[in-house]
Amino acid sequence: MEIVKAAGLKKYYITDTYEVHALDGVTLSVEDGEFLAIVGTSGSGKTTLLNLLGGLDMPTEGGVWIRGNSLKDMEDEERTVFRRRNIGFVFQQYNLVPVLSVYENIVLPLRLDGAEIDLELLEGVTLLLGIWEKLERLPQTLSGGQQQRVAIARALLTKPAILLADEPTGNLDSATSLEVVGLLKSCAEKFHQTVIVVTHQEEVAQMADRIIRMEDGRICSRTDGGGDVKKSGTTFGQEG
Ligand SMILES: Nc1ncnc2c1ncn2[C@@H]1O[C@H](COP(=O)(O)OP(=O)(O)OP(=O)(O)O)[C@@H](O)[C@H]1O
Ligand SMILES: [Mg+2]
């Protein structure tokens, strides 16, 4: 079943001095439970796409549908609530609150939302991520990889149907990256989540069910899990 749909998605930045086509006609369908990787050179539009898919930003043209709900047709407030209930973000910078313990960091979004903390899920996720024994620590007493896992746990705890991660292993070495993405994948499988990961690490991308490659604001090719690149020409993933 399709959970995320983007059609004819464009994001243009136009001022007196420049015109940037950050996203230039992306059409994409993501299946429920899929683990999708987005790769591409710097400036190809990956973050722009992720932000639009997550409703953090609005497109110039085209639209995004989450389980058939059109993000741009929602009121701002409605979209904020919808996003909080359906979508989790893992940003490249961990964005942990330094004065709060790991535990407090992980449950912060739930507290802000007045939502119940699922202690069983918290235990399951933190055990899987290997930070169960670090819950009382402050973030700065953890390694970068451990802090990254706290950020991932925080996103997973809100049980988002869709997890959007922008370079979640961007600051980690190759071995730790694979470890973190492996854990992310097993969490997603266990808790039935759809994951979209932006990465510049080919070995991370290879762990996904499907890889989308971007160039100049467009999807230029895709690779299935097995690794066979299917060049798309002008028909796949693009409109206009
Ligand atoms: N607010 C903005 N105003 C003008 N141009 C922007 C803005 N945000 C992004 N861009 C431009 O849009 C293009 C795509 O940016 P984007 O951040 O999506 O790239 P990216 O693929 O995530 O790159 P990276 O791998 O470096 O993170 C770039 O050329 C960027 O300069
Ligand atoms: Mg980016």
CA distances from 188 to 37, 74, 129, 137, 235 (A): 14, 27, 12, 25, 31
For the chain, how many helices (H) and strands (E)?
Answer: 7, 11
Determine the Cα–Cα distance for residues 83 and 232; give it in Å rounded to an integer: 31
Q: Is the CB of 170 under 6 A from ligand 1?
A: no
**Candidate of 9, 11, 47, 60 to mutate for ligand 1, largest count of ligand atoms within 8 Å of Cβ:** 47
What is the rounded CA–CA span in Å between residue 54 and residue 64? 9
Q: What is the pLDDT along the chain (240 residues), one digit of tens a residue?
A: 999 999 999 999 999 999 999 999 999 999 999 999 999 999 999 999 999 999 999 999 999 999 999 999 999 999 998 998 899 999 877 889 999 999 999 999 899 889 999 999 899 889 888 899 999 999 999 988 889 889 989 988 888 999 999 998 877 788 878 888 887 888 788 888 999 999 999 999 999 999 999 999 999 998 876 433 444 433 333 443
Match 């990787």 to its residue by tokens: 37
Q: Is the CB of 48 under 6 A from ligand 1?
A: yes
| 76 phi, psi to nearest 5 deg | -50, -50
